[in-house]
Amino acid sequence: MVNKVRSAFSCPPYELSRDEFNYFQELHHPDCASQSKAIKGSQSKMIQHSKISEWLSFGVHKWLFEKALNGDKEALFKIEHSYNLYDEVILKAKEQNLL
């Protein structure tokens, strides 16, 4: 459990600890996020979830696809199977010399 959490958008997601990152993923995941149709009154939750998801992802999905298209077999494997978003955010930040 996270003792002290920064507010969303107060820093780039790669500066968050794993616990803080997971906290934002869990906290801002509305009940209807995985359902195909929105439940009445949940539109604002979906919008907030979308904004948090975009911030947390740090463009990792597009970054992995571009790497795979350029022949990176590890990126292709991750796309086809699965990957840990936090780990990939950190990897992307390191690759871009942000960490």
Is 94 within 8 Å of 19 (Cβ atoms)? no
Q: Give the count of domains, the chain.
A: 1
Specify if 35 maps to a domain. Answer: yes
Specify if 75 maps to a domain. Answer: yes
Q: pTM for this structure?
A: 0.77
pLDDT given for residue 65 in this prediction = 97
Residues of the chain with confidence (pLDDT) below 70: 1-5, 28-42
pLDDT given for residue 23 in this prediction = 87
Specify if 58 maps to a domain. Answer: yes
Domain of residue 91, residue span? 13-95
